Amino acid sequence: MKRSGWVLYLFEDDDKRELFKIMEFKTIRDLSYVIKIEPSIISNWFHGLINARGILKNCMLFQSISVDSTNT
């Protein structure tokens, strides 16, 4: 079974030069609860459908996929 998570890099400002915090989440819904933005907005931003707004201007989001070593 493939499991994935989300890694959010939060920067001091929208220049994204000074890293403030790295947070990991199991779902976009968990992420949306913490940063108080609707999950659909986060998903659309991640997929490049909309421009960053609010705190998302200070963020980079990556999807992490764990590799199952038993199925190699």
pLDDT per residue, tens digit, the chain (72 aa), is 557 799 999 999 889 899 999 999 999 999 999 999 999 999 999 999 999 999 999 999 999 877 665 555
Identify the CA nearest to 56 among candidates 13, 7, 26, 5: 13
> If you ran DSSP here, which 8-state letter would residue 21 be given?
E
Tokens representing 52? Answer: 């960053």
What pLDDT is stored for residue 4 in this prediction? 78
What pLDDT is stored for residue 14 in this prediction? 86
Q: How far apart are CA 19 and CA 2, in angstroms?
A: 29
